[in-house]
């Protein structure tokens, strides 16, 4: 039906439909995780589904999440590994077909089912937290004050393995133009793709000093004049 | 800690932390739902969390989802209402503070806990499917071939109530510049916000004919020259 992506993405929930869209490739998986800045974490609490948007950070074959140690997620992870479904999706375009039914979305997505475990090793925790800051820009972790003991203690870092026993990952994508029924091709309706992209605008400084280069490197940048105090 | 948004967004999962960030307002809730093109739907299957990215569409006080009737979601919704957590998040900026700990994200988000029920009324179903197509552009449902009986039968539409018994909704947002510790303000590190936005680029036609006006009206548009065959 309209925006047939739902039918296709329905297969993402449990990969039963349109299996030909499912690819398993570490490179593709990492590329989606590294481009997206936000993931959606699903957990079950008292039998109810909960979905939390949060930032993630991949280091090698682990995806990391972080939370306040006093948050429910931080507390829950203390006792035992927590079963999670982490879903990352990047919207690439609106697909307008000649029929309502074949309207769709272009996207790339990753779904990970795994056990998230609290990171108890201080060195790993420090490395991961630096990697989180680096997502804002290469070198950023050296361009700000690092965490002190109080801040470290207030932060829970959770590791989600991307490989191994009990881990399921799926990468999916739709790309390209609309796919219309043969009989609809002669219809006079406009068809095509409207590409969409998450882009960064000129930074808004809070204070003085030159704007660091390489901010938000995973984003495209709007071609706008930089603020006057930019370097 | 770094990207403190995790600590703040941790409260979104179950609103226990930083409750002052939680606001309940129908207007704000609808604005987030209407701007975002994709939501993340959480369900519990055999005790496991599953998170599915899909398109949504709000009509009055209901949020609608759609799926193939043959998909697991479509099949699951046939027998009984299905408990869902629908989460919508819009990323508005990267917040770079003088300390790693106060790095954050600007965002707006909605979390809805409710029972999703299959829409069995044909008139409601047709109205909703037209509304889905309109999300690509005002008037679009009249500018394409409408669904035929086969296509209608192949599509399940689910309604998620936004008000009433058993429904919980929460709207949250972070806006504005970084909030640094007083003691950090004198540090030489650059601080500020990098605004981000989902924007549409020039449409890529699949065939001839003038590009309709008003495509993807909820998106900002990149100031790029339109393709030569555009009107």
Per residue in A169-212, pLDDT (tens digit) is 999 999 999 999 999 999 999 999 999 999 999 999 999 888 98
Could A216 and B50 be called an inter-chain contact, meaning their C-beta atoms sit closer than 8 Å?
A: no
Residues in chain B: 231
Residue in A1, A83, A205 nearest the CB of B147: A1
Which pLDDT does position A5 carry in this prediction?
Answer: 40
Is it true that domain A5-179+191-197 has CATH number 2.40.40.20? no
Q: φ and ψ at B119, to 5 degrees? A: -85, 115
Question: Which among B16, B136, B152 has CB closest to A1?
Answer: B152
Say what angle helices A72-79 and B5-13 make with each other, to 10 degrees.
80
Query: pLDDT band at residue B223, thresholds of 50, 70 and 90?
Result: low
Pairs across A and B, CB distance < 8 A: 412
Q: Which of A14, A97, A129 sits opposite B2 (nearest CB)?
A: A129
Query: Residue B59 has what DSSP assignment?
Result: E
> Token pair of A66, please?
């972080």
Residue A224 has what pLDDT? 53
Å between A163 CA and nearest CA of chain B: 18
Residue A89 · residue B38 · CB < 8 Å:
yes
CB B132 within 8 A of CB B57: yes
pLDDT over threshold 70, residue A22: no
Residue pointed to by tokens 């999670």: A84
The interface residues of chain A toward chain B in range 163-222, judged by CB-CB distance below 8 A, are 177-178, 184-185, 187-207, 209-212, 215-216, 219, 222
Nearest CA-CA partner of A41 in A32, A51, A33: A51
Task: Using a CB–CB cutoff of 8 Å, tell me whether A70 touches chain B.
Answer: yes
- Residue B14's pLDDT band (cuts 50, 70, 90): very low
* Segment holding B122, helix H or strand E: helix B122-134
Looking at residue A72, its pLDDT comes to 75
Span B174-217, pLDDT tens digits: 999 999 999 999 999 999 999 999 999 999 999 988 898 888 88
Q: Could you say which of B49, B68, B194 has the minimum Cβ distance to residue A49?
A: B49
B104: left (phi over 0), alpha (psi -120 to 50) or beta: beta
First to last CA, chain A: 51
B84 in Cβ contact with B41 (< 8 Å): yes
User: What share of chain A in percent tops pLDDT 70?
Assistant: 85
Spatial distance between the Cα atoms of B49 and B99, rounded to a whole number of angstroms:
35
B103/A155 CB distance under 8 A: no
A94 reaches B (C-beta below 8 A): yes
Confidence of residue A69 (pLDDT cuts 50, 70, 90): confident
B136/A89 CB distance under 8 A: no
Return the residue matching tokens 């006079």: A188
Lowest-pLDDT choice from A10-14, A136-140, B55-59: A10-14
Q: Please give, one letter per residue, the 3-state secondary structure of chain A.
A: CCCCHHHHHHHHHCCCCCHHHEECCHHHHHHHHHHCCEEEEEEEECCEEEEEEEEEEEECCEEEEEEECCCHHHHHHHHCCEEEEEEEEEEEEEEECCEHHHCEEEEEEEEEEEEEEECCCHHHHHHHHHHHHHCCECCHHHCCECCCHHHHHCEEEEEEECCCCCCEEEEEEECCCCCCCHHHCCCCCCCEEEEEEEEECCCEECCCCCCCCCECCCCEECCCCCCCCCC
Q: What superfamily in CATH does domain B5-181 come from?
A: Electron Transport, Fmn-binding Protein; Chain A (2.30.110.10)
A195–B200 CB contact, under 8 Å: yes
DSSP-derived 3-state class of residue B222: coil
Domain positions in chain A are 5-179+191-197, 198-231
């Amino acid at each position: 039906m309209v925006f047939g992506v739902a039918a296709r993405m329905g297969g993402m929930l449990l990969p039963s439909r349109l299996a030909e869209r499912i690819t398993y490739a570490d490179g593709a998986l990492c590329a989606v995780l590294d481009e997206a800045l936000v993931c959606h974490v699903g957990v079950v609490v008292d039998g109810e589904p909960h979905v939390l948007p949060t930032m993630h950070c991949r280091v090698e074959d682990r995806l990391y999440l972080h939370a306040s140690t006093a948050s429910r997620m931080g507390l829950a992870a203390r006792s035992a590994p927590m079963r999670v479904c982490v879903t990352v999706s990047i919207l690439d375009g609106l697909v307008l077909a000649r029929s309502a039914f074949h309207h769709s979305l272009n996207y790339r997505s990753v779904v990970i089912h795994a056990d998230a475990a609290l990171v108890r090793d201080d060195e790993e925790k420090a490395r991961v937290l630096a990697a989180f800051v680096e997502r804002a820009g290469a070198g950023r972790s050296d361009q700000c004050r690092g965490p002190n003991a109080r801040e470290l203690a207030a932060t829970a870092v959770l590791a989600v393995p991307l490989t191994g026993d009990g881990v399921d990952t799926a990468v999916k994508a739709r790309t390209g133009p609309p796919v219309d029924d043969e009989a609809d091709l002669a219809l006079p309706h406009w068809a095509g793709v409207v590409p969409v992209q998450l882009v960064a605008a000129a930074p808004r400084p809070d204070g003085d000093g030159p704007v660091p280069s390489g901010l938000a490197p995973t984003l495209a940048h709007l071609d706008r004049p930089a603020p006057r105090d930019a370097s």
